[in-house]
Amino acid sequence: MPKIILAADYRTDGFFKVGLAYALNQAETGVSSRFSESDFLGGSFYYNQGPVTRTESIFSDKRIGKVKIDNSLTEEVRARGFFRPRRVPLLRILENIQKATDDPGIVGLFLDIENFPLGFASAQELRSAITKFRASGKKVVAFIDVAGNLEYYIASTADEVYLSPSGYLELKGLKAELIYLAGTLEKIGLYADFVSIGQFKTAPEILTRKTMSEAESLQTSVLLDDLYNQMIFDIATNNGISEEKLKSLIDTGPFSPKSAISAGLVDGLVFKDEILKNSGVYFSRKYNFEELSQKYKYEFFTDYWSEPARIAVVYANGDMVGKHSHDEPFIGRTMGEETIASALRKARTDKDIRAVVLRIDSPGGDVFATDEIYRELKKIKDKKPLVVSVGDVAASGGYYIACIGDDILMMPGAITGSIGIFMGKLVASGLYDKVGANKVILKRGKHADIRTDWRSLNKEEKELVYKQLSEFYDDFISKVAGWRKMPKSRVDSLGQGRVWSGQRAVEIGLADSYGGLLEAIELAAIKADIDPDCPIKLEILPEYKFDILKGYKTKKNNLADVLIGKVPGLILLSYLDESSYFYRLPYEIKIR
């Protein structure tokens, strides 16, 4: 029976769509138009016969795509609640720019860069997407207001960079600033008693030393050089100047608007609304702007004769501690072994999922949580392709779960390695004494109180702990040697807790190639023998539900933990218990 269909769709964000269709049995033809507030965004004509749909754009209105980069950007979107701001995943931004690159309706790109809250490798992924957009022959204009190293690093990828007349440019180089708390702990009656395997496994030194060790100085200096040289090379290449000249310019920073112009770091001083009102001045002709997040918010018809192929993207994000993943208000994001293992089981057992991409952004964590996740990954290896994409960090325990991948992709500025292990406790007898507290310990068994916070380890106990740690370390390097096809002695020489940049990791064989999440997804599709013309649907895991208070739970085991849990960067010490062994990066990396 023939019928006429009239449809309308309105969203609270100002996006709405109207359409008219005529249907007869399984055949249907129609037109639809899209608007944003009162602004016409174009339309399409489609014809549907059974499972096949053909879509043609009509009266298409060319646009300048607009992308906003601010604090809403995140690596992984978890459960939303009343107390949580809206978040935008990096993957969505990358996908939108990729779609705009191939979209004839998008003739240029406007980057509104307010703040970039992620790390150096994530910035490189975004730069890569922008570079490909430019390579398609389309112009990119970037606007910055108050910009640090990363904001300018991203903006410099554009054809032109404009700075607000009331802004400033904090392009001033990189620094490593490490804090040492042994003296502070001493004053409050605490003592850090740790044992570690690996010359460069320096994580406990934050608590055990009053200044930097030679090993820490060496690995941090090399890492700092790698990241700085990458930043210099990329900016200098985009700006068309020598690396030496750029270094000289940076040594005169930070920059006021006028000094940024004089240095040739920006192309002009202008307020953002002036660009938006006068697009013809900054692009080839006057076009309207359209937020890419709105343009590509909904999937459109495809004429491919089948369902989309499905690839799972599993996020392993945060410190590995506990059973369940949380966003802790004081200590940051954690991933629980059961949360991640459950997501991996779903990816493995779902027959419609053709391949798995494991996206890691983790400095490591608890040994036992790490191994539980590793076991689930090993089961996937037997059934379907497993490609690892490293975000900003996949170090220590993060690398433990990365090494099993068929291929490991990371950007040159990623942080990885740190193959080593440590264990320790805070001895709080001095603190208890200061506050008038006393402990009486009754025990059965020589080492029943080995992990009490009332006393330090004795010589025999340290030897015992070292032996146990050696077994875990040997298992770690054996796994890396097996999956990376290296001699065990070679892995040991690259291990010892040493931290590497992604650039060096590729050179020494700890990773396979440079690439971000988009490249990892493309590689997974190839390994799964998915037809290049077949559309791909991503299954994002783990799945988090709306929960007002979820993530605002803390775990404190004793008085020492309560106090030390407030110290930034010492996340895992909030989780010390009587069986804590850690594969953990020695510090947090933030570039500003």
pLDDT score of 6: 67
pLDDT score of 571: 39
pLDDT band at 3 (very low <50, low <70, confident <90, very high): low
Q: Does domain 63-172+253-295 fall into CATH 3.90.245.10?
A: no
Nearest to 565 by CA among 321, 368, 392: 321
pLDDT beyond 90 at 5 = no
CATH class of 309-423+455-549: alpha beta
d(CA 307, CA 86): 31
pLDDT beyond 70 at 222 = yes
d(CA 101, CA 58): 20
pLDDT score of 574: 38
Half-sphere exposure of 471 (CA within 13 A, CB side): 6
pLDDT score of 46: 55
pLDDT band at 53 (very low <50, low <70, confident <90, very high): very low
pLDDT score of 176: 87
pLDDT score of 19: 65
- CB contact at 8 A, 421 and 368: no
pLDDT score of 268: 97
pLDDT beyond 60 at 82 = no
d(CA 337, CA 379): 15
Tell me what the pLDDT averaged over the chain comes to: 86
Beta strands in 399-548 (DSSP E): 407-410, 415-417, 421-427, 499-501, 513-514, 536-541
What percent of the chain is predicted at pLDDT more than 70?
Answer: 79
Which residues, 6 or more positions from 575, have their beta carbon under 8 angstroms from its beta carbon?
321, 322, 366, 555, 557
pLDDT score of 333: 86
Half-sphere exposure of 132 (CA within 13 A, CB side): 17
* DSSP assigned state of 175: -
pLDDT beyond 50 at 570 = no
Helix, strand or coil for residue 393?
strand
* DSSP assigned state of 150: H
How confident is the model over 15-38, as a mean pLDDT? Answer: 60
Give per-residue pLDDT as tens, 190-204. Answer: 999 999 999 999 989
- CB contact at 8 A, 422 and 204: yes
Output the furthest CA–CA distance in the chain (Å, rounded). 88
How confident is the model over 73-91, as a mean pLDDT? Answer: 82
d(CA 570, CA 328): 13
pLDDT beyond 70 at 35 = no
pLDDT beyond 50 at 106 = yes
Residues of the chain with CATH 3.90.226.10: 63-172+253-295, 309-423+455-549
Between 345 and 42, the more confident residue is 345
pLDDT score of 16: 59
- 28-32, 180-184, 513-517, 577-581: which range is least confident on average? 577-581
Give per-residue pLDDT as tens, 509-565. Answer: 999 999 999 999 999 999 999 999 899 999 999 998 765 554 433 333 444 433 333
Give per-residue pLDDT as tens, 142-191. Answer: 999 999 999 999 999 999 999 999 999 999 999 988 899 999 999 999 99
pLDDT score of 171: 96
Between 142 and 50, the more confident residue is 142
Q: How many helices (H) and strands (E) does the chain have?
A: 20, 28
How confident is the model over 8-13, as a mean pLDDT? Answer: 54
Give per-residue pLDDT as tens, 391-438. Answer: 999 999 999 999 999 999 999 999 999 999 999 899 999 999 999 999
d(CA 6, CA 554): 53
How confident is the model over 339-349, as a mean pLDDT? Answer: 97
Q: What angle do CA 476, 480, 486 make, to 5 degrees?
A: 135
